[in-house]
Structure formats: structure tokens, C-alpha cells
Amino acid sequence: MNQLKGYVQLIIIHLFNCLPIKKNKIFMFSYYGSQYGCNPKYITEYILNNIPKGKFEIIWAFNKPNDHKLDPQIKKVKVMSLKYFYELCTSKVIITNFRTTDLFVKRKNQYYIQTWHSSLRLKHIEKDAIEILPENYVKMARRDSKKIDLLLSGCQYSTQIFRRAFWYKGEILEQGTPRNDIFFYRQHIESIRDKLNIPPESKVVLYAPTFRKNNDLTAYDLNYTQLKKTLQQRFAGEWTVLVKFHPHLLSSKNRITEGNVIDVTPYNDVQELLILSDVLITDYSSLMFDFTTTKRPCFLYVPDIKEYLNKERKLYFDVNELPFILAASNSELSKRIIEFNEEDYKGELQSFFNQVGTGENGNASEKVVQHLHHVCFSEKGGQIYEAV
């Protein structure tokens, strides 16, 4: 049955690929249609807020389109529907933050922008992690890389990784990460607080650990009550604790979320949570690198660090040499927070920025849209930045 369905879909794609491409149509989706977020969202928001209405026709693909209330200028389609294939096949530009499958049969005059979903990685990805990735995924990823016309990069270090790990020799726009633009403008903070019912006077700490193999929960033993008391002691004020686990753990959240905290695991846009947060606590998540843009305190709570380094993916950095403060137990975390020196921390961050050659300046979305003007209309729409 699945084989027959795939055959029918390929026939539909072949037929729609015979139709004219609409030069101003942009097709976007994030994490295979699961959310309105990440880099495609912030490119979309820039277009809506800065480009004359109707200049671009924006299509977003979702698994459940009715769950997303978007600007009326955005046309929503259901993933794998007939409309989905029609819009995909007749769009000039396709923008994603994840790998496309063989059901994206790229046409000669289409332009595919791969934004990926992080500004910088700690864990090895793609070709660098080929020994632990499923064979089918690797084949799909290699085919996807051949379709890419432009890859976005947030820093020189990421560009080097993409060149090697993505089996990619094409253009890379090393001008920042669109989803990180939010940190430079801090828009809509109060509306985010309202959505989460966070008092305006309360400070916020976000705990956002990464996923463990086999849904292992033992590393998530953070003591939230103790954490709040420690933060109050070091930074003063009242604190609200937000907890965001990997989406795979949605069904387990009641077992691992304790105390007076707000579970934000279902929240689509983690960047909004980061901009709201005065302190971030994570472990091996790439969110730590996004958060550096705020220059606010980030602590790595890693009670399983020895086991993780032995059994999980290899890392691009020695965690002990990162600018973030490590703790392997609740008592050690409290000690590190109390001893936190802001001046030393910002100095370490600046050294790290110099090391990776960061390109984040709040204008990444603008630069991508300038590029879109050129691709869709052969217009510069402002300065076009050379890809590397």
C-alpha cells in the first residue's frame, strides 16, 4: 500500500512539475510541518513586516494547518495533500530547516535555501556522525545536499562544518541566523509573558536539556526548588522556572516535571523562550550557542557527562573549554551560580565569539530577503552579500 501511495505521489509531482513556476512564490516548512518556527518563521516575519504586501506569495506547509493562526497573507497547506504538491512544485523558492525527502523533486528553475536548525552545533552532525546515523537517512541527506542552492551559516566555524559534513560545495551565506535576530530587538516580550502567565516583575530561568537515548530520564534530576532559592540569593528577585524537554518526552512530562514550574515543552518557538529568559540551564543542546547572543548567564547541568561522552555523539568542542559553567550535581550547580562572575563570563564569551567568527548581528533575515529579491526578480533590493 505504501509503495503504491508513493508511486501515485510521484506521478502527481511529475504532472505538477509541468506547470509554470510562479516567480514570487516562496514555499516554507519547519521540522517536516510540525511547527511555525525556527529560521523559516523569522524570514517570513521579516517579509510580512518590511516588504510591500503581495510582493511575495508565502506558502507554509503543516501537518495540522488549523492548529496555526497566522497572518492572512500566509497560505497554509496540509503536508502531502494535493495542494501541498501543487504549491511545492510551482514555487520559485523552497526554504526549510531540515532535510527534504525524495518527494521534493527539484525543478531546474527552482531555488532551494537550506537554513538548518542551529547557529552552531556541539554534537557531530551528518557526515561527521555517519557511523551512528541510519543508512536511509544518510542516503536521503546526501541527495538533499545535491538540491541545495544556498546554505545559511551563523559563523565561520559553522561554515567549515557545513562544507565538510553536508557533502556540500555550493554557496553559503555566512551572515547570521534568522531565528537569532530576535535577540537584538526583543520584540513582543510582554505578549510572550502574557501567553505563559508570567508576572511582569518575575525573572525567568529556562531549563532545556537535550534528548537522551532510549528516552532515559535519569539525567533530568534538577532540583527546581533549590534552583529558585539559589537564583534569588545570587541575582535577587522572584523567579519563574520554565522547563522545556524534547518533544519526544511530551508523554513523560508529568513524571519528570516537579515543583512550582511551567512546562513549556509543547511551546513551538524556543527562541521566544530564550529571549524571555534571564538565565539558561541546558546540557548538550545547541541552544547554548543561540543564547550567547544575549550575553546572559548559561549553565550546563551535566550529571551524566562521563557516560554521555562515552556513549553519545562525538562533540565539536571540549565542553570544559566552552565559556559556560559546568555542574555535575545540584549542589555543584548552586555553588557555581553563587560564585558566578559576570565580568569573567562576558570575557569568556568574547573570546569564544572570536574563536568561531560569529556573524550574528540581528540582520540575518534582512540579508536573506535581499537575496530573495535577486533570485525571484533579479533585483538587489538593497546590498547583496556575497556567499562564501
Task: Look at residues 137, 154, 56, 70 and name the one whose alpha carbon lies nearest to residue 98.
Answer: 137
Which CATH architecture fits 194-356? 3-Layer(aba) Sandwich (3.40)
Neighbours of 175 (CB within 10 A): 24
Write out the three cell numbers for 114.
Answer: 537550506
Q: Give residue 384's pLDDT.
A: 46
Give the separation between CA 115 and CA 178, rounded to whole angstroms.
9
Architecture of the domain defined by 16-181+362-377 = 3-Layer(aba) Sandwich (3.40)
Q: What pLDDT, on the 0 to 100 scale, is given for residue 213? A: 73
Cα 109 from Cα 90, distance rounded (Å):
10
Which pLDDT belongs to residue 370? 96
The strands making up 111-114's β-sheet, listed across from edge to edge, are 74-78, 57-62, 22-29, 91-96, 111-114, 150-153, 171-174
Whole-angstrom Cα distance, residue 324 to residue 279? 12
- Name the segment(s) of the chain with CATH classification 3.40.50.12580: 194-356
Residue environment code for 327-342, b if the CB has 16+ CB neighbours within 10 A, otherwise e: beebeebbebbeeeee
Helix (H, G, I), strand (E, B) or coil at 149: coil
Which residue intervals of the chain bear CATH 3.40.50.11820?
Answer: 16-181+362-377
Other Cβ atoms less than 10 A from the Cβ of 170: the count is: 17
pLDDT in tens, the chain (388 residues): 677 777 889 999 999 999 999 999 999 999 999 999 999 999 999 999 999 999 999 999 999 999 999 999 999 999 999 999 999 999 999 999 999 999 999 999 999 999 999 889 999 999 999 999 999 999 999 999 999 999 999 999 999 999 999 999 999 999 999 999 999 987 778 888 999 999 989 999 999 998 877 667 788 899 999 999 999 999 999 999 999 986 655 555 555 555 578 999 888 899 999 999 999 999 999 999 999 999 999 999 999 988 888 876 789 999 999 999 999 999 999 999 999 999 999 999 999 999 999 989 999 999 999 999 999 998 654 444 455 6
The Cα–Cα gap between 76 and 326 comes to: 43
